[in-house]
Amino acid sequence: MQQFNMNINGNPVQSGNTFDVINPATGIAFAQCQLGDASHVEQAVSAAKAAFPAWSQTSDEERRQLLHEVAGAIKANMSELMELVTKETGKPMGGLNGVGSGMEVGGSVAWTQYTAELQLPVDVIQDNEVARIEVHRKPLGVVASITPWNWPLMIAIWHVIPALRAGNTVVMKPATYTPVSSLRFAQLASEILPPGVINIITGPGSVGGLLTAHPDIAKVAFTGSTPTGKRIMESAAGNLTRCTLELGGNDAGIVLPDIDVAEMAPKLFAACFHNNGQTCAALKRLYVHESQYEEVCQAMAGLAENVVVGDGLEEGTELGPVQNLAQLNIIRDLAASAKADGGRFLAGGHVMDRDGYFFEPTIVADLTDGSRLVDEEPFGPIVPIIKYSDIDEVIDRANRNECGLGGSVWSSDLDKAAELAQRLECGSAWVNDHGALQPDAPFGGIKQSGMGVEFGLYGMEEFTSLQTLKVVR
């Protein structure tokens, strides 16, 4: 069984106690990690705080170069990291439409490379014979990164790299279900960066709570569920600690009555089921006009019945297991609720008879708003298809949900679709796509889906404070 240590101040750290990490494709432990406690939180924050003055004053060019070296280390160890991601999350090496651990690790390289090249500008407000006024963006201090189990390495990169590029130091706390790829990344990065610039601790949720409440944490970056995000805000409030929170989503996709169903159905299916539906910005509520409702339902059901589900380490697997037993039970409960509400199950609907945490890719028709499967985020391979007749009404229905992460409109009329997409109450809106992210376009939620944004200059600015400098002449 593989053993992984925490890393504090550039050194491997053991606690004397360990916990198992389960491969969700088998239900069997494949690794052991250190069970951190309050003392390790103190050590990690102290190391990051001590490293901050020198790192924040390191030249912009040197920080850029070091982060490119980190990207190179991820790339050089890509095969190992892909296997770790697949073992801890269950996602395939390749995956449906190429969305798998290869994309996660490759995307981590690309995101690091792009972010390394970003530069924070100095804004000149005034420059005349009276005075010069400049606005500078300064690093905050120690950043706490708390990451979820669905994209453990990629989301760690989204938090850590812009924080470091802006001149902050970092303490990472990965999800207990999926710590190993982050631990390996932190080890690789700590071999390149000065001691204390990046640290990682592992353990239960209580360790994360101690970290977010610590008075020496200047910023919390969190991706995960809305209830946990609210607890983090409460924890951080005592110190007025800044937060960026990317929380749950229950994204709606609206299909206009002019699409080519044969062409669009595979794209719709991929938007719903990539990473087995375990993505915050996956399409989770599919609204289809009554004129094409049955045709779309049958096309989606056919795709669900033919997608290849299995162990992510096996070649040809498109969808893997649900990542953990607790989430599998949530999906099973939502499926039962949908059946009680009169949902028509066109494909799937059952836990698969095999080892691990597998649930059949499931398409449910004939539900509407008010059903739990429509109103709640399932975060798994089950999607309701909902009939509508009036476009203004369906936009209102889509917006009525408390979440506001992403949304999409699907149509052959791109101008009309773009106009309608802008009426959706969400942080990101797509036309004829859903959930496609890139490192130069800001991403974040509104309403119960969070606050702040990630990616590009907009995202990196969240790891800084403004200082206005006025020089009187």
- Positions marked catalytic: 246, 280
For residue 119, count CB atoms less than 10 angstroms from its CB and return exposed for 0-12, middle for 13-18, buried for 19 or more: exposed
* DSSP class of 309: B
Which region, left, alpha or beta, applies to residue 328 given φ > 0 means left and ψ of -120 to 50 means alpha?
Answer: alpha
269 backbone dihedrals φ, ψ, rounded to 5°: -60, -45
- The rounded distance, in Å, linking the Cα atoms of 271 and 274 is 6
For residue 245, count CB atoms less than 10 angstroms from its CB and return exposed for 0-12, middle for 13-18, buried for 19 or more: buried
| Cβ(140)–Cβ(242) below 8 Å | yes
Q: Which residues of 263-295 are buried (b: 16+ CB within 10 A; e: fewer)?
A: ebbebbbbbbbbbbbbbbbbbbbbbbbeebbee
Sign of the Cα torsion 227, 228, 233, 238 reads positive
- The rounded distance, in Å, linking the Cα atoms of 345 and 337 is 12
For residue 91, count CB atoms less than 10 angstroms from its CB and return exposed for 0-12, middle for 13-18, buried for 19 or more: buried
Q: Which amino acid is at 78?
A: M
| Cβ(180)–Cβ(84) below 8 Å | yes
